[in-house]
Amino acid sequence: MSVSRKERIAGTIMGSLIGDALGVGPHWYYDLDTLRQDYGDWIDGYTEPKQGRYHAGLKAGESSQTGQVTAMLLESVAEKGGYDEDDFTGRVDSLLETLDGTAKGGRYTDQAMREVWHARIKVNKPWRQSGSLASTAEAAIRVPVLAGRYAGDMGACYDAITANVILTHRAAETAGRSVAFGLLVHALVNGASMPNAKQHVMNGLRDAGKSLAMPVPAEAVEYGFIDDVLNVTWISECAKDPAIAIEPAWKAARLYGLACPLASLMPAAVYFAARFEGDFESAVLHAVNSGGNNMARAALTGAMSGALVGLGGIPERFIDGLHDSRQLLTLAEQVAEAAG
């Protein structure tokens, strides 16, 4: 059965938010024996963080701070009809003003947002100079909103994503890889397969007069992300190759690395989305059960898998269990409608 582009756009947005929330409880367990002791042999839904853990105090189905910021971008794009940087940054400024610059000043604040907080609140830098040098995935996690909104216009998609990523992540390699992820999602919401996404990205950028590079003005450099685009093809082909077996599949995360750099998270997420193509639940839950920074890995996986299966391919229980799901779903559908 064919999946419409609108269904894919809503699917990628909700998939990212669902993956994030599924990872909140069991986040950052590098000792997988302890993870299994705390949550059992297989996590199959939303869970609460244990006392003393990173997101303690949040309820099952609530979003992390990364999910909060993604929802802010979603609200902004839905209400404004497109990407409005001043509106989005104003919303994030309101969040930053409630924090104290420490990891536990609100919902757990990661390194990138702590550095953004310092630049904006303590130093009063302009937003375009406030990005962190962290190698993490927060920017990549939120850009599916923009990939969806500009699904019909590769040039506008590239412009919006590059502008948004640099606000929080200004290290050239991480920023470029985040843009590559957003363009991958753009390919998927337009119906490309994982192995063929590279052609959609390369041809689309060429036709739009854009390069396969992320300009980083503050650093006077740019990062060419063609390798990140090509990696999607290679990894997704390996995920389907019977001669390359990773069993159980969640151990793919150990192969690519359990920690926080996007360079480790994105390949594993691609593997899960490709290996369990057409099966959102299996893809995302393998990411959740893989340990380490499983929350970010699951959000990235959810964005890709949601784009592949569309909103109708996401189990209803994941939507029902997500905090504020009806509001988020309405906003996601508004963005999909605006994309045409």
Domain assignments of the chain as residue spans, ordered by start: 5-339
| Cα torsion 163, 164, 165, 166: sign | positive
Annotated binding residues: 64
Supply the pLDDT for residue 311: 99
- Say if residue 217's pLDDT is above 80: no
- Say if residue 221's pLDDT is above 80: no
Supply the pLDDT for residue 154: 98
What's the rounded Cα separation, in Å, for the pair 156 and 289?
Answer: 36
Q: One-letter amino acid identity for 26? A: P
At which residue do the structure tokens 């905090």 appear?
323
Annotated binding residues for Mg(2+): 64
Supply the pLDDT for residue 218: 64
* Chain centre to alpha carbon of residue 203: 23
What's the rounded Cα separation, in Å, for the pair 158 and 150?
Answer: 9
Overall average pLDDT of the 323-333 stretch: 98
CATH 1.10.4080.10 corresponds to the domain 5-339: yes
Supply the pLDDT for residue 298: 99
pLDDT in tens, 228-249: 999 999 999 999 999 999 999 9
Supply the pLDDT for residue 136: 98
Residue 253 binned pLDDT confidence (cut-offs 50, 70, 90): very high
Overall average pLDDT of the 26-42 stretch: 97
Supply the pLDDT for residue 219: 66
Supply the pLDDT for residue 75: 99
Supply the pLDDT for residue 200: 98
pLDDT in tens, 264-321: 999 999 999 999 999 999 999 999 999 999 999 999 999 999 999 999 999 999 999 9
Beta strands in 205-275 (DSSP E): 213-216, 221-224
**Contact call for residues 64 and 20 (beta carbons, < 8 A):** yes
Q: One-letter amino acid identity for 258? A: L
Residue 106 binned pLDDT confidence (cut-offs 50, 70, 90): confident
What's the rounded Cα separation, in Å, for the pair 321 and 294?
Answer: 19
- Say if residue 123's pLDDT is above 70: yes
- Say if residue 224's pLDDT is above 90: yes
Overall average pLDDT of the 134-149 stretch: 99
pLDDT in tens, 170-202: 999 999 999 999 999 999 999 999 999 999 999
Supply the pLDDT for residue 215: 84
- Say if residue 109's pLDDT is above 70: yes
Mean pLDDT value across the chain: 97
Supply the pLDDT for residue 340: 84
End-to-end CA distance of the chain: 20
Name the DSSP class of 132.
Answer: B
Overall average pLDDT of the 18-28 stretch: 98
Q: What contacts 188, CB < 8 A, 6 or more positions away?
A: 8, 12, 194, 197, 304, 307, 308
Overall average pLDDT of the 53-72 stretch: 96
